[in-house]
Structure 1
Amino acid sequence: MKRHSFKDGEVIFRENDPSDAAYLIMEGKVEIIHGRRSEANTTVAVLGRGEYFGEMGVIDDKPRSATARAKGETACMSVSRDEFMDMLLNRPEESIELLKVLFERLRKANDRLMLMEKSGGTA
């Protein structure tokens, strides 16, 4: 693991970048931004201390699906693909906690999709 410091507004990674590490927020906040469907970016999440981000691409080896940007002074630990996979395979308690976070994110995304469908919007 390697510690990184980011200033307010600094981009940690951009949508479509290669996924080389996951990040754990130690201090501050990170805004997750999605901009694929329009010129305007959409904030999909604001994450805080103790939360992971960037883990999807580390697991499925696909490019970043969103941009991550620091909100305020932020410190993160980067976790390489090998370190992350080692955690998943050899530390079941931590793996289960991560799965809970991922499932909660999926539930929220499903809820947003359902709201859009009910309001006549498109996904």
Structure 2
Amino acid sequence: MIDPNADRAVFRQLADLLRNRILSGELQPGASLPSELRMAQEYGLSRTSVRQAVSILRSEGLVSVQRPRGTFVREAEFTDTVTLRKGDTASARMPSPTERRDLDLAEGVPILVISRADGSTDLYAADRTRVSR
């Protein structure tokens, strides 16, 4: 339930509700979210608040917006495993626009930077990659 009198902004409350439905499996990967108009009516919010909530979920990589089709729960993607060798290090950072495009990353998804002992660097999508030793 959205409480307009709560200390938390209504669009954040809606994002929390939708996130919980996605993470609990109630909204499965590939499922479409209700339209902006329908959510605005259902929760008594403005369409702007609904857009802000969807934007949060999009930045978290939970949904993708496919205009004009709608907003969909993202499919679980294949997870790569990168093995670190002796002398390798791993760090994370936000990608540049070019890196985001090259790695096909959703907005808000960081990249893993693997610095190899030989001086080379590899970049991986953090939401699809596991690091092991």
Same fold by TM (over 0.5)? no
Higher RCO (CA 8 Å, separation ≥ 6 residues): 1
More helix by proportion, 1 or 2?
Answer: 1
TM-score, normalised by the number of residues in structure 1: 0.29
More strand by proportion, 1 or 2?
Answer: 1
TM-score, normalised by the number of residues in structure 2: 0.27
Q: Which entry has the higher C-alpha Rg, 1 or 2?
A: 2
